[in-house]
């Protein structure tokens, strides 16, 4: 069996795995990154789009923010739309100058893959980790590549393998607690060749359900609408999609999203989950492998980045001093932020979606909440400081 030795075996080349490998490289720590999908698949997968200030700072400070600085769209606020009116929440005034940046997750991944290539360290695509063992003493990751089994022998394993990965399964069930919540709806998302008709995101609660207006570039609009979790994408031809998006997003002042060719569409279920602790022996979980948030708060990618920032710092400290305190406190330090993001994402989700079993009372209550959130400075500040991202450690 082919065998390689490294300091950190990283499973998954999503934002968490790639950023961790990059930060470790800057500290002079070797790693091997294994990714079961192809490079094209990973780069083309359309997902998140909103970067918190802390994520932008991390990319800049670690030397991978050059294209982000040129092409990222800085947004100073968002709109909440209800009752046919868009109300603005200005982040900069409410948070002392903080903001968000719209830059596709696939662009982040592209930049991190380029940095990995430049570092000369190992990144293997179409290499699926199938077994993790020895996490109490000498970790080993067995992976399958071109029909053959190979092995990575390492000091630590970073489980950055997303919500359906294998790393979590390497932890005995009795050592884990899983907290979960499902939501009775999903998001149907599209990418359209259309110039964004608003400079900032619009989150809308309409009688017919939630809709979100977002973007990727000055020529590409990203839109989502609430649908049933078991909805069939075949039931959504473009005409029906545009009709529904227009109905849910249009406002009485005549604003509506521009239409264009639909380049991609897909349905995503929504759930919240947290695994505690995020560490077992020499195995550390990061990003979606440890926690899932519903996308309404735009927190998933940002949490993944916050986790690996903490993990890279702890590993650097270990290799420099031989001390394990920061590794041992990794889980507790990450989970504080994770639960804040869970709370915020749950709150945004329940405020903005129509529950299928909800009644007219619930809808009126949601409208009253939106009225308050867009008129009280205290409430707007609470939304703004969570949306731009609570301070990193």
Binding site for ligand RFL (CB under 6 A): 11-17, 34-37, 42, 47-50, 105, 128-129, 160-162, 165-166, 187, 189, 268, 287-288, 295, 298-302, 304
Q: Any idea of the CA torsion for 181, 190, 15, 217, to the nearest 10 degrees?
A: -140
| One residue of 285, 298, 303, 306 binding ligand PHB per CB under 6 A | 298
Residue 162 CA to residue 273 CA, distance in Å, equals 12
Question: 308, 310, 303, 312: which is closest to 274 by C-alpha?
Answer: 303
Q: In 3-state terms, what secondary structure has residue 167?
A: coil
Q: In 3-state terms, what secondary structure has residue 389?
A: coil
Q: By CB under 6 A, is residue 272 in contact with ligand PHB?
A: no
Least distance CB 268 / ligand RFL (angstroms)? 4
Identify what 37 binds: ligand RFL, ligand PHB, none; CB under 5 to 8 Å per kind: ligand RFL
Least distance CB 214 / ligand PHB (angstroms)? 3
Q: By CB under 6 A, is residue 296 in contact with ligand PHB?
A: yes
Element (H, E) at 93: helix 91-95
Q: By CB under 6 A, is residue 309 in contact with ligand PHB?
A: no
Q: By CB under 6 A, is residue 214 in contact with ligand PHB?
A: yes
Tell me, yes or no, if 224 is annotated catalytic.
Answer: no
Tell me, yes or no, if 299 is annotated catalytic.
Answer: yes
Tell me, yes or no, if 330 is annotated catalytic.
Answer: no
Whichever of 127 and 191 has its CB closer to ligand PHB, that residue is: 191
Backbone angles phi, psi at 389, to 5 degrees: 110, 125
Whichever of 209 and 300 has its CB closer to ligand RFL, that residue is: 300
Residue 244 CA to residue 236 CA, distance in Å, equals 10
Buried b (16+ CB within 10 A) or exposed e, 337-371: bbeebbebbbbbbbbbbbeeeeeeeeeeebeebbe
Q: By CB under 6 A, is residue 165 in contact with ligand PHB?
A: no
Q: How many residues bind ligand PHB (CB under 6 A)?
A: 9
Catalytic residues, by residue number, are: 75, 203, 295, 299, 387
The binding site for ligand PHB (CB under 6 A) comprises 48-50, 201, 214, 222, 295-296, 298
């Amino acid at each position: 069996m082919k065998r390689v030795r490294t300091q950190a075996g990283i499973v998954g080349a999503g934002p968490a795995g790639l950023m961790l490998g990059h930060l470790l490289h800057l500290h002079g720590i070797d790693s091997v990154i294994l990714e079961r999908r192809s490079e094209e698949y990973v780069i083309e997968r359309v997902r998140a789009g909103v970067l918190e200030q802390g994520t932008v700072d991390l990319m800049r400070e670690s030397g991978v923010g050059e294209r982000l600085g040129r092409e990222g769209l800085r947004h100073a606020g968002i709109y909440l739309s209800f009752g046919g009116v868009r109300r603005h929440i200005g982040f900069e005034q409410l948070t002392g100058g903080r903001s968000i940046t719209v830059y596709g997750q696939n662009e982040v991944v592209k930049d991190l893959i380029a940095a990995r290539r430049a570092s000369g360290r190992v990144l293997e695509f179409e290499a699926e980790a199938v077994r993790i063992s020895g996490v109490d003493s000498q970790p080993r990751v067995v992976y399958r590549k071109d029909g053959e089994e190979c092995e990575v022998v390492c000091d630590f394993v970073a489980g950055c393998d997303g919500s359906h990965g294998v790393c979590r399964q390497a932890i005995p069930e009795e050592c884990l607690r899983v907290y979960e919540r499902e939501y009775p709806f999903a998001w149907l998302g599209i990418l359209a060749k259309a110039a964004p008709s608003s400079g900032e995101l619009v989150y809308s609660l309409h009688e017919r359900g939630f809709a979100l207006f977002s973007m990727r570039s000055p020529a590409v609009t990203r839109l989502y609408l609430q649908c049933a979790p078991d909805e069939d994408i075949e039931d959504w031809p473009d005409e029906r999609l545009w009709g529904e998006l227009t109905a849910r997003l249009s406002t009485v002042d005549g604003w509506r999203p521009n239409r264009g060719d639909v380049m991609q569409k897909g349905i995503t279920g929504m759930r919240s989950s947290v695994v505690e602790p995020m560490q077992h022996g020499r195995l550390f979980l990061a990003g979606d492998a440890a926690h899932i948030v519903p996308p309404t708060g735009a927190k998933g990618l940002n949490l993944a980045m916050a986790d690996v920032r903490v993990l890279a710092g702890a590993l650097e400290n270990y290799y420099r001093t031989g001390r394990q305190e920061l590794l041992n406190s990794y889980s507790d330090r990450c989970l504080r932020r994770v639960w804040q993001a869970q709370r915020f994402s749950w709150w945004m989700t329940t405020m903005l979606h129509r529950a299928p079993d909800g009644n007219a009372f619930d809808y009126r209550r949601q409208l009253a909440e939106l009225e308050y959130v867009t008129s009280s400075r205290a409430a707007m500040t609470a939304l703004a400081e969570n949306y731009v991202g609570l301070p990193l450690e």
